Structure 1
Amino acid sequence: MRVAPQLFREVAGHFATGVCVVTAEDPDTGPHGMTLNSLTTVSADPATLLICLNRASTTHEVVARAGRFGVNILAAGQQDVAALFATRDDDKFRDLDWTRSPSGTPLLTGGVAHLECAVLHRHDVHSHTVVIGEVITAAAAGGPPLVFHRSRMSAPFPG
């Protein structure tokens, strides 16, 4: 017997997570990105993490072709950025400040941190692909992160 998707979303929503935008560059169509909250550190030595990408997203295919991706950890107050990257808009980067890493990965400015990863492994699970990446660059600006809890984005919980 399977748990109903709505019940699963409700129960899983009680686990607070950070909000990230995963980015990658396609040489023909430019930068792509999508909002996600499925980010987990796997190992500190070597620095490794995993993300889960919906296979229906264009960003999924761009990450697969590029072989690398950026993880942009959003700051409290960046709900508009998270909402933008949750859409299917073809030009999400047009009105944002962003840069490219030396290897060409698009990175958003204004977040609390970002990482750049090389794809190590990919595992398809139902509608998503679990992507394991080795961190090749990382930087933190600090400040409070954007948090997702019970289907809402907000600043971190007090105290």
Structure 2
Amino acid sequence: MSLDLSATMRTFATGICVVTTFTEEEGGRRHDAVALRSFTSVSLEPPLVSLAVRRDCEVLGTLLTTGLWAVSILDVAGVDLAQALDGAAEDRARTLLTCTTTPGPRTGALVLDAPGWLECALYDRHDTGDHTVLIGEVLATGGRHRRPPLVSVNGRLRVLSEA
């Protein structure tokens, strides 16, 4: 029996989120973002969540250096956004300029207009396989439900309806 973990895990529906962070540069803050499927709650006390980020992801270094990020959970309106954040740094920066965002009150990372969002500070990290798992302490939460959530299943972005 051969393992095809990727094909098997594609059958597991997961939500899509955008993780934003920043670097301080001469002339101001440079924001960056990545769309992720590997996000989950780890603990309610203390409030912790985890992100699994590919080690070759450009945003990982910034996440580790800054130690602060925001997670915005996407709904159906986020399909184009999720796809656009797979590009080069300049493309990601341009994409962020087209979004409705506000700096998070606790971290300064950009919070998108999304059904749910969290602000986090680095609590722990684990280098595992080809990913780094970041554990974040949740500093703030918010959002509002308006549209059906966006999920990934069988390698495609889909809308989850209540029907």
SS in 2 for 1:52: strand
The letter for the 2-side match of 1:154 is R
In 2, the alpha carbon distance for the partners of 1:114 and 1:158 equals 21
TM-score calculated relative to the size of structure 1: 0.90
Higher relative helix content: 2
Q: For residue 48 of structure 1, what is the aligned residue in structure 2?
A: 48
* RMSD value, Cα: 1.6
Q: Could you tell me how far 1:45 is from its partner in structure 2?
A: 1.6
In 2, the alpha carbon distance for the partners of 1:24 and 1:2 equals 38
TM-score calculated relative to the size of structure 2: 0.88
Q: 1:50 to 1:2 in 2, by over 3 A?
A: farther
Q: Could you tell me how far 1:69 is from its partner in structure 2?
A: 1.0
Q: Could you tell me how far 1:39 is from its partner in structure 2?
A: 0.7
Cα pair 1:118 1:133 within 8 Å, conserved: yes
In 2, the alpha carbon distance for the partners of 1:100 and 1:58 equals 21
Gaps of 5+ in 1: none
Q: Does 1:19 pair with 2:22? A: no
Q: For residue 84 of structure 1, what is the aligned residue in structure 2?
A: 84
Q: Could you tell me how far 1:34 is from its partner in structure 2?
A: 0.5
Cα pair 1:20 1:37 within 8 Å, conserved: yes
Stretches of 4+ moved more than 2 A in 1? Answer: none
Q: 1:2 to 1:128 in 2, by over 3 A?
A: farther
Q: For residue 7 of structure 2, what is the aligned residue in structure 1?
A: 10
Q: Does 1:124 pair with 2:127? A: yes
Q: 1:2 to 1:62 in 2, by over 3 A?
A: farther
In 2, the alpha carbon distance for the partners of 1:152 and 1:158 equals 19
Aligned residues: percent identity? 29
Gaps of 5+ in 2: none
Cα pair 2:21 2:109 within 8 Å, conserved: yes
Q: Does 1:137 pair with 2:140? A: yes
Q: Could you tell me how far 1:112 is from its partner in structure 2?
A: 1.1
Cα pair 1:25 1:32 within 8 Å, conserved: yes
Cα pair 1:77 1:154 within 8 Å, conserved: no
